[in-house]
Chain A
Amino acid sequence: SQQGEEDPQALSIQEGENATMNCSYKTSINNLQWYRQNSGRGLVHLILIRSNEREKHSGRLRVTLDTSKKSSSLLITASRAADTASYFCATDGTGTASKLTFGTGTRLQVTL
């Protein structure tokens, strides 16, 4: 069954606002990754957070991980129109290194 569930399924905000997306998963993980997919394109890796980390930053991105709740969040600050894309979390389960299980994705629309 599917590992990750993302919330919300779709999010529409204005440029300059912050966007928060959440991901929940079911089993123990080695790490959790976030990817972006622009329409008609392949996925692009954004950030990886290990199971022993709680928070990680990369530019305008902030990712948190709560292994006790089996959840993660991705915050994009000061969003831009170019951030419009689908965002997926992916988990690398324990004992299954290099196999990623993707969530359902959040479609983010940033308007001017």
Chain B
Amino acid sequence: DTAVSQTPKYLVTQMGNDKSIKCEQNLGHDTMYWYKQDSKKFLKIMFSYNNKELIINETVPNRFSPKSPDKAHLNLHINSLELGDSAVYFCASSPSGAYNEQFFGPGTRLTVL
């Protein structure tokens, strides 16, 4: 069974549309994250939730809105998509506390046309 899963794997859409990416983890972890990896492979954290509570919110346009219905799920909704949003988005999870490795999902490749 996949530990951290994301859907969809690929997402191609037009500028201005609204889209969502879903993430689920079955590891029993308390903390979940969204990362964005650009075309140069630079990976940057966007959001982090701990037990459904937002704990990290980096400088991300407010067109991006994460939602955590429970601690096993963290979805990412993006409004009014722009060309610059094209990237690979990774979900990850980890147990709470320091010294913890993060477990990554397979990624969602978003292409905005």
Interface residues of A (CB under 8 A from B): 2, 30-31, 33, 35, 37, 40-45, 48, 50, 86, 88, 92, 97-102, 104-105, 107
A48 vs B95: C-alpha distance when bound (angstroms): 14
Q: Number of contact residues on B: which range applies?
A: 20 to 34
Give, as a whole number of angstroms, the nearest-CB distance from A46 to chain B.
9
Answer yes or no: B34 CB below 8 A from chain A CBs: no
Q: Output the nearest chain B residue to A31 by Cβ-Cβ distance.
A: B99
A104 vs B103: C-alpha distance when bound (angstroms): 19
Given contacts A42-B107, A45-B101, A45-B103, 20 further A-B contacts (CB under 8 A): A30-B99, A40-B107, A42-B90, A42-B92, A42-B104, A42-B106, A43-B43, A43-B92, A43-B102, A43-B104, A44-B104, A97-B98, A98-B56, A98-B100, A99-B48, A99-B56, A102-B44, A104-B41, A105-B41, A107-B41
* CB neighbours of A97 from chain B (8 A): 97-98
In contact, B90 and A43 (Cβ under 8 angstroms) = yes
Answer yes or no: B20 CB below 8 A from chain A CBs: no
Interchain residue pairs with CB less than 8 A apart (12): A41-B106, A42-B92, A42-B106, A43-B92, A45-B103, A48-B99, A86-B41, A92-B99, A98-B50, A98-B96, A102-B42, A105-B42
A50 vs B102: C-alpha distance when bound (angstroms): 15
* CB neighbours of B90 from chain A (8 A): 42-43
* CB neighbours of B25 from chain A (8 A): none
Q: Output the nearest chain A residue to B99 by Cβ-Cβ distance.
A: A31
* CB neighbours of A107 from chain B (8 A): 41
Give, as a whole number of angstroms, the nearest-CB distance from B92 to chain A.
8
A102 vs B96: C-alpha distance when bound (angstroms): 19
Within 8 A of A (CB), among B3-60: 4, 31, 40-45, 48, 50, 55-56
In contact, A100 and B104 (Cβ under 8 angstroms) = no
